Structure 1
Amino acid sequence: MLDERRNPSAPQADPALIAAFRALPVANISDNLHRIVGAVGLRPFHDGTAMAGTALTVRVRAGDNRAIHEALELVRPGDVIVVDGGGDESRALIGEIMTSVARMRGAAGFVLDGAIRDLDAIARSSFPCFARAGIHLGPYKNGPGEINVPVTIGGMVVHPGDIVVGDADGVLAFSQDIAPALLTATRAQTAREDAILKGIAEGRYVGAYAAPAAG
């Protein structure tokens, strides 16, 4: 049962780490998380701009956005507002006004396990917004809700202060503690894949499962 917890925001991740992860494909980061971490069923509704930032988490009653409005008063530049709406698609939790406020305050994006509206405006925007669905029906504003507590987004647990990344392939989150090692591994994989793609462009490719050449 939801209560009214309002916890302090967690320390933000190193901006250099955030910038580095924003430049990497989410699919490659996922591969180096053993391919078991990620939100299922969420997709980008904006223009596809990549997202990375520190999680400011919100948990709401289905179809109610009061706690999201309160979280907008706490958002810091670089925060990703991660909203556990229980996967409810019956009412939009945010729209153009709330995404505009978040952008004005320097947020890195919105991730919602729920619905949004004003889809045309959000589709034209470069401000990252990932959600489960779109619908015209607006939200209730009665609460309850919680801020900066562990939440579940599309089956993925997100803790306050986690690093959250997203691109056209979807969204994932991970602890700041593992970020440096994960960054090194993902960069190495990306470099290998870039070399493979370069070879393909030059007309040479050996399949990943091909037998080695004799002698």
Structure 2
Amino acid sequence: MAISTADLYDENRDVQVAEPVLKHFGRKTAFGGEVATVHLYEDNVLMRDKLATSGNGRVLVVDGGGSTWCALLGDRMAQRAIDHGWSGVIINGCVRDSKELAKLDVGVMALATSPRKSRKNGVGAVDVPVTMAGCLIEPGDFLYADEDGIIVSDHDLLS
């Protein structure tokens, strides 16, 4: 799937454009698809469980509250996303194992890195509206990311 957020924006001015606060960490820098969401804070159990389900080319958007205390995703969880067919993971929080993430063929965007593991209590919510980088993102929206940024639409812009 060839994605150009600039071109998609030019053709669809009614989309949301995310604030440029997230960085690429995965090898795949252009990706997109239907959105699934997780809302959590410094606890990645619900994200891990969601990535163990069939992704069908979707993008998992994780609102981690912008915490930089710990990482919510590392190389093993990114591999889980690949194994289950997720196009990418967008995280309002941190990742770890960044050198390994850069080798994996999945889109990963996050605020920064942290070596610290997250808590494992299973607290949070799945498939709920989340707010990230100035965008209100709902399950079933469509998200597209590339080197120019992230756009979000309530409908598929590539069909």
Same fold (TM over 0.5): yes
Cα distance change, pair 56–167 in 1 and its aligned pair in 2 (3 A): same
Question: Partner letter of residue 50 of structure 1?
Answer: A
| Cross-structure match for 1:149 | 128
Gaps of 5+ in 1: 1-18, 185-215
| Cross-structure match for 1:60 | 40
Question: Partner letter of residue 146 of structure 1?
Answer: A
Instruction: Say which of 97, 104, 108 aligns to 1:129.
Output: 108
| Cross-structure match for 2:68 | 89
C-alpha separation in 1, matches of 2:46 and 2:19: 21
> Relative CO higher for 1 or 2, CA cutoff 8 Å, sep ≥ 6?
2
- Deviation readout 1:89-116 (Å, 9 max, x if unpaired): 1100010000001100111111101000
Question: Partner letter of residue 56 of structure 1?
Answer: A
- Deviation readout 1:169-213 (Å, 9 max, x if unpaired): 22221111xx45xx59xxxxxxxxxxxxxxxxxxxxxxxxxxxxx
SS at match of 2:17: coil
User: Which is richer in helix?
Assistant: 1
Instruction: Say which of 153, 157, 168 aligns to 2:147.
Output: 168
Give the TM-score of the pair, scaled to structure 1.
0.67
Instruction: Say which of 25, 30, 50 aligns to 1:50.
Output: 30
Query: Structure 1 residue 37 and structure 2 residue 23: aligned?
Result: no
| Cross-structure match for 1:120 | 99
Gaps of 5+ in 2: none
C-alpha separation in 2, matches of 1:24 and 1:107: 16
User: Which is richer in strand?
Assistant: 2
Give me the CA root mean square deviation: 1.9
User: How many matched pairs?
Assistant: 158
Q: Could you tell me whether the CA contact under 8 Å between 1:59 and 1:83 is conserved in 2?
A: yes
SS at match of 1:93: strand
Q: Could you tell me whether the CA contact under 8 Å between 1:42 and 1:171 is conserved in 2?
A: no
Question: Partner letter of residue 103 of structure 2?
Answer: R
C-alpha separation in 2, matches of 1:72 and 1:46: 16
Give the TM-score of the pair, scaled to structure 2.
0.89
Shift of 1:81: 0.9
Question: Partner letter of residue 40 of structure 1?
Answer: P
